[in-house]
Amino acid sequence: MLYIGSHTSIAGGLENAAIQAKALGATAFGMFTKNQRQWASKPITEEESAKFKDTLKDLGFSKAQVLPHDSYLINLGNPDGLKRQQSLTAFIDELQRVHTLGLDKLNFHPGSHIDKIGRKDSLALVAEALDRAISSTEGVRPIIETTAGQGSNLGSSFEEIAELLSLTRQNQQVGVCIDTCHIFAAGYDLRSEEAFHKTFEEFGRIVGFDKLEALHLNDAKVALGSNLDRHESLGKGQIGIEPFIRIAQDYRFRDIPLILETIDSSLWPKEIALLQAYGQKVQP
């Protein structure tokens, strides 16, 4: 099944993310489980958890159709021990919140070396943090999101994602989310049919489609290889609409959340409906 939706808001209650997704005509959605701009958060109560689970059931969403996202404050690759511990504590809390809601994935950005240590050393810190976090929680898979390569951010190449997975002792518990804007900005072309197939062949060879758990569908304001994270609405940026149609028609992207983070939320119903329409024809 084609699971397509957008990142929706939890303002007024966690269950509102699902309600908004349904109103958009979505078959998937992304969400935060707390205010992502704050470190601390109140625990999710039994009542809140039950209401969220009941809403999902009533609206026909399964946990496979939901992609929670962690706070942007978290940096598991920070070389400062105290700050890294703060991030790890927050990350474990995020995993536990997801588990409380009956969900099984947590999308996260791999982090940054903040120009204080080398990339490989910072990746090793992220891997160590992932192992500790996985050992501290149950039933939730951390999902590494590809990045644009802006500044000192980690995870902008398939090789770096693969290296992080290889460094993680419990890598069988870790998945990957491809952000189309991010990989385009990192130098992976998607525009022509040839480029599209070359990029995803490379991902399959280096990382593996068995690791792919989700996609963020975003066009890009900026040029190929610019290393800038600037999202645009589908078809209005440098990538164009054709690669997103190919994704909707490609069997490899079925049964995982495909989440829009495009900049104009008023266009989400049209973007979702467009991809769903093209997705009726699956290409081998």
Domain boundaries, the chain: 3-278
Name the residues annotated as catalytic: 37, 69, 72, 109, 145, 179, 182, 216, 229, 231, 261
Q: What is the pLDDT of residue 40?
A: 84
pLDDT given at position 281: 79
Q: What is the pLDDT of residue 284?
A: 62
DSSP code, position 94: H
Strand pairing partners for 283?
Answer: 250
**What is the full DSSP assignment across 143-172?**
EEEP----TTBS--SHHHHHHHHHH-TTGG
- Cβ pair 29, 6 in contact under 8 A: yes
Q: Which pLDDT does position 20 carry in this prediction?
A: 99
Which regions of the chain are under pLDDT 50? none
Query: For the whole model, what pTM was predicted?
Result: 0.96
Q: Which CATH number fits domain 3-278: 3.90.1150.110, 3.20.20.150, 2.40.30.10, 3.40.50.2300?
A: 3.20.20.150
